Amino acid sequence: MNILLVSQCQKKALKETRRILDQFAERVGDFTWQTAITKQGLDTLRQILRKKARKNTAVACHWIRGKDNSELLWIVGDASRFDTLGRVPTNTTQRNILRADDENDWHTIEDIRLISAMASLFHDFGKANKRFQSKLREKFNKKTSADPIRHEWISLRLFNTFIGDKCRDDQEWLQRLADNPTFPDDWQDKLTKDRLEMSAKDTAVISEGISPFKKLPPLAKVIGWLIVSHHRLPFDQNKKVACKATNAQALNKLPERVKISWCGARENATKQHIKQCWTFEYGLPSQSKAWQKWVQKLAVKMLNRRQLFTEKWFINPYVIHVSRLVLMLADHYYSSLSDPSQRVRGDKDCRLYANTTSKKQEDGADKTLNQLLDEHLIGVEKQNHAICYHLP
């Protein structure tokens, strides 16, 4: 075999590479060697180069097969210093010559991914309430009644409680998530319990709190909207229409009109059942170490994405619509998984469940507990990333 060796090494790697190549081939230039060699000898040379390779090593080997024909055999070290044919660039520049972004219309795909991912990690927090957990643990061959207050609305209230009324901007609550992703100790006292207030005699009083969107920062408002609408859009039953927003200002104020009655709350629910919806015997998924790890990592990514805090997302129906689509698809798909080998691993101490399976059991029950709640939130977030990467 007649071969040509080209070195693009730098610093100490150049000196070491010259020492090795001089033992196998004749130097025909400062950075090139040529020789006739057997296949075994060439394999030995490559093995030695790989063993001695450094950060600045870059060697390409060409097989000269005829008068006007050569073939790249291999590259050892930094392959980015050569093209796909092993050629060396004549000149380099930092200017955007190819302008690949001009042909890409997915300018907001990373924003969609991050927004829907954060909503994924909070979207089912409301399932931690006593009413929902008790319903999952009942005899599954019985037909259970619908929840007085749907878990989407409770999840939105819990998300609102974490952010707090005095949050100045989105960077503040995201930084809190990055530093310490746990709810404050007095979160139950700060939680707005719609349709339920306890009097001095510990009796239930029907009431409705102010809109959870009232004091949310812009980005949190978008995430809150995805949380409350990840099963169905809020619907004004009295007017028989969801909304009539024709301009940016109307779209921006739309969430503040959403009430608990728009989200499927039952009017004939008992006070006891309403109280159970705002009781959390087993705590929240935020106590899971696995959930904390995922949300911390995501919060740091969002803080580094400056565009998230400069754009007015709620007047961008495209971003909101696709983000909701991604969240719903990820939620439906991950909820369908019953095989533990296909799912992520949550906190082993978690006592909260997200759903049940529909397989017939030996004891006659037609369902059994399936996914832990923290595992479900993490799994939906992970599936959310996969869907976004496939969209383009």
Contact between residue 222 and residue 320 where contact means Cβ atoms under 8 Å apart: yes
Examine the domain organization and report whether 46 and 158 are in the same domain.
no
The band of 103, judged by pLDDT with boundaries at 50, 70 and 90, is confident
Strand partners, 33: 5, 27
Strand partners, 70: 64
Classify residue 18 by burial, with Cβ atoms within 10 Å: 0-12, 13-18, 19+: middle
Examine the domain organization and report whether 73 and 121 are in the same domain.
no
Q: Please check the confidence at residue 362 and state whether its pLDDT lies above 60.
A: no
- pLDDT tens digits, residue range 39-59? 999 999 999 999 999 999 999
- How much is the pTM? 0.71
Examine the domain organization and report whether 271 and 218 are in the same domain.
yes
Query: Where among 23, 52, 77 does a domain terminate?
Result: 77
Examine the domain organization and report whether 223 and 314 are in the same domain.
yes
In a domain, 101, yes or no: no
Report the chain's mean pLDDT, rounded to a whole number.
87
Radius of gyration of the chain measured on its C-alpha atoms: 30
Q: Could you tell me the sign of the dihedral formed by the alpha carbons of 282, 283, 288, 294, in that order?
A: positive
Examine the domain organization and report whether 259 and 315 are in the same domain.
yes
Distance CA 15, CA 118 (A): 51
In a domain, 94, yes or no: no
In the numeric block, the tokens 């049940």 are attached to 356
For 24, the domain range is 2-77
Who's near 5: CB < 8 A, 6+ residues apart? 21, 25, 32, 33, 34, 59, 60, 61, 62
Examine the domain organization and report whether 222 and 350 are in the same domain.
yes
Examine the domain organization and report whether 66 and 204 are in the same domain.
no
Query: Where among 77, 104, 128 does a domain terminate?
Result: 77
Distances from the Cα of 172 to the Cα of 46, 177, 222, 250, angstroms: 54, 9, 16, 27
In a domain, 92, yes or no: no
Distances from the Cα of 322 to the Cα of 77, 109, 326, 387, angstroms: 42, 9, 6, 11
Examine the domain organization and report whether 70 and 120 are in the same domain.
no
Q: Lowest mean pLDDT of 216-225, 239-248, 256-265, name the range.
A: 239-248
Hey, what's the torsion of the CAs at 137, 143, 144, 150, to 10 degrees?
A: 110
The predicted model gives 137-157 an average pLDDT of 79
Distance CA 125, CA 224 (A): 12
Q: Residue 134, Cα to own-chain centre: how many angstroms?
A: 30
User: What confidence score (pLDDT) does residue 140 get?
Assistant: 45
Distance CA 91, CA 216 (A): 52
Q: Residue 388, Cα to own-chain centre: how many angstroms?
A: 9
Phi-psi region of 240 (alpha: psi -120 to 50; beta: other; left: phi over 0): left
Examine the domain organization and report whether 72 and 126 are in the same domain.
no
DSSP class of residue 236 equals B
Q: Please check the confidence at residue 279 and state whether its pLDDT lies above 60.
A: yes
Examine the domain organization and report whether 65 and 130 are in the same domain.
no
Query: Where among 77, 93, 128 does a domain terminate?
Result: 77
Distance CA 285, CA 148 (A): 22
Examine the domain organization and report whether 177 and 41 are in the same domain.
no
Q: Domain with 29 in it: what CATH number?
A: 3.30.70
In a domain, 45, yes or no: yes
In a domain, 91, yes or no: no
Q: Lowest mean pLDDT of 145-159, 250-264, 294-308, name the range.
A: 250-264
Distance CA 115, CA 66 (A): 57
What is the distance in angstroms between the CA of the first residue and the CA of the last residue of the chain? Answer: 45
In a domain, 88, yes or no: no
Strand partners, 205: 197
Q: How many structural domains comprise the chain?
A: 2
- pLDDT tens digits, residue range 190-218? 898 888 764 444 444 555 668 888 889 99
Q: Please check the confidence at residue 234 and state whether its pLDDT lies above 50.
A: yes
Examine the domain organization and report whether 171 and 57 are in the same domain.
no
In a domain, 217, yes or no: yes
In a domain, 99, yes or no: no
